[in-house]
Amino acid sequence: MVKALLVAAVSSGQGKTTVTAALARKLVRLGKRVRVFKCGPDFIDPMLLERASGAPVRSLDLWMVGQALCAQQLSQAAAEADVILIEGVMGLYDGTPSSADLARAFGVPVMAVIDAGSMAQTAGALVHGLRDYGPVEMAGVIANRIASEGHAKIVATSLRDIPLFATLPKQARSLPERHLGLVLPGEVGDIDQLLDALADQLAFDQAAWDKLRDVAFAPAPAAATAPPALAGKTIAIARDAAFMFLYPANVDTLRALGATLTFFSPLADEPVPATADAVYLPGGYPELHAERLSQASAWQASIRAAHAAGKPIVAECGGMMALADTLADQGGAVWNMAGLLPGAVAMQPRLAGLGPQGLPTPQGALRGHTFHYSKLDTKVEPAAYTVKHPSAIQGEAWYRAGSLTASYFHAYFPSNPAAVAALFLRSET
């Protein structure tokens, strides 16, 4: 038995991540063992939540991750922690499946975060609607951007039978953001002081906390062991400030498949390790580091050599952008990239792709998502397309150029380890 909450809101922008991080840090400072999860596909929020809680943050999603693996992760966390916090995605009922679906699937009460900065009594109507629409079990409310003690009392009264669990005042300084979301924790020099300040300002009702019911997560059956199809293979993974959008579960899957992993930094102009049998270039922010990448001659020569040697190269989103001929950054400057995928990438003022998708493969569907602000202009014909979920309409292009496979699609490797193994093995044809 463990205390567990799904932290949700009516929409994005209400302060879910800030509140979840503040609550996690506060509970850790009170001596609690805290595990945090993030609903849906996300790379950046989990980094901040990991910094706040001091423990790894994994993804929960009934479609992409699957109910069985979600159950396994929650069961393991419950055995190791005093508190489980799950940050929802977008609004409570947004998506198919939604955060509310996850909460109901595992019997987790919902803690609603509301931006109360521009409302008073209407807070009650909003929260009751969130509770009753599903319905979901509403444990309480955390009111963000509260102006005063009087404001907090008005909000609390409006909630009627739903407790006001905590409040957070308006912040003079918020967590910095950029086009893909929050700035990475490592880029904020005083991130721990900022998290401590948020924890200090989060005023929560200890009596309400004590009344929270415990949640029982049934022991989950052990996951099926994937055949070690990559045994004896070494996979080089790009990992630095330009390539950091990497699910920890993807790394676990590659190791479970028997691969030996080595990491290198294209930004530091490190070449692909000579021992590598294959290369994995995850997504990230190449557009923020395009000038340095264009000047990384050793890295560019090494990835071209790996391609010429027929070594499998899997490039996702930012990884693909770095392998095009050119990359135009947000300021319009054009930089030469590695040139393995003929074409030009340019940043866009608006979101160019978003949502869960699946890639059809001979081994079955490989699930994942897409989220990007750039577009690729190429004459290369796609080898396949992903399928959007749940609409089943055509999604992202999947390109093949020699031993390179590249797409804006971010794959969640545990969804189909056999398909993943095939990507990193040399083709017999």
Mean local confidence (pLDDT), 403-427:
96
395 token code pair: 């999604």
Q: Which of 156, 181, 215 is the last residue of a domain?
A: 215
pLDDT per position as a tens digit, 346-374: 999 888 888 999 999 999 999 999 999 99
Q: Which CATH number characterizes residue 307's domain?
A: 3.40.50.880
pLDDT per position as a tens digit, 282-311: 999 999 999 999 999 999 999 999 999 999
CB contact set of 199 (below 8 Å; sequence gap of 6+): 22, 23, 25, 26, 29
Residue 383 clears pLDDT 50, i.e. is over it:
yes
Looking at the structure, tell me whether residues 356 and 308 fall in a common domain.
Answer: yes
Looking at the structure, tell me whether residues 292 and 379 fall in a common domain.
Answer: yes
pLDDT band for position 429 (50/70/90)? very low
pLDDT band for position 173 (50/70/90)? low
Looking at the structure, tell me whether residues 42 and 74 fall in a common domain.
Answer: yes
In total, how many domains does the chain have?
A: 2
The Cα 337–Cα 344 span in angstroms is 9
* Contact yes or no for 138/112 (Cβ under 8 A): yes
The Cα 95–Cα 81 span in angstroms is 29
Residue 157 clears pLDDT 60, i.e. is over it:
yes
pTM: 0.93
> In this structure, is residue 429 part of a structural domain?
no
Looking at the structure, tell me whether residues 161 and 189 fall in a common domain.
Answer: yes
Residue 278 clears pLDDT 60, i.e. is over it:
yes
Q: Tell me which of 24, 317, 320, 346 is the catalytic residue.
A: 317
276 token code pair: 């590598």
> In this structure, is residue 383 part of a structural domain?
yes
Looking at the structure, tell me whether residues 189 and 303 fall in a common domain.
Answer: no
Question: Any idea which of 207-221, 259-273, 386-400, 408-422 has the lowest mean pLDDT?
Answer: 207-221
> In this structure, is residue 428 part of a structural domain?
no
**Catalytic residue check, 317:** yes
Neighbours of 270 (CB within 10 A): 17
**Mean pLDDT over each residue of the chain, to the nearest integer:** 93
> In this structure, is residue 225 part of a structural domain?
no
Looking at the structure, tell me whether residues 405 and 323 fall in a common domain.
Answer: yes
Looking at the structure, tell me whether residues 269 and 316 fall in a common domain.
Answer: yes
Looking at the structure, tell me whether residues 175 and 250 fall in a common domain.
Answer: no
> In this structure, is residue 278 part of a structural domain?
yes
Q: Which CATH number characterizes residue 113's domain?
A: 3.40.50.300
> In this structure, is residue 226 part of a structural domain?
no
pLDDT band for position 338 (50/70/90)? very high
Which helix (DSSP H) or strand (DSSP E) does residue 344 occupy?
A: strand 341-347
Task: Single out the residue of 178, 175, 119, 179 nearest to residue 147, CA to CA.
Answer: 119
pLDDT per position as a tens digit, 54-103: 999 999 999 999 999 999 999 999 999 999 999 999 999 999 999 999 99
Kind of pairing between the strands at 164-169 and 203-204: antiparallel
Looking at the structure, tell me whether residues 242 and 151 fall in a common domain.
Answer: no
> In this structure, is residue 289 part of a structural domain?
yes
Q: Which domain holds residue 79?
A: 2-215
Q: Which of 181, 215, 249 is the last residue of a domain?
A: 215
Give the model's pLDDT for residue 183: 60
Looking at the structure, tell me whether residues 270 and 209 fall in a common domain.
Answer: no
Identity of the amino acid at 300: Q
Looking at the structure, tell me whether residues 157 and 259 fall in a common domain.
Answer: no
> In this structure, is residue 228 part of a structural domain?
no
Secondary structure E strands in 222-340: 234-238, 260-264, 278-281, 313-316, 324-328, 334-336
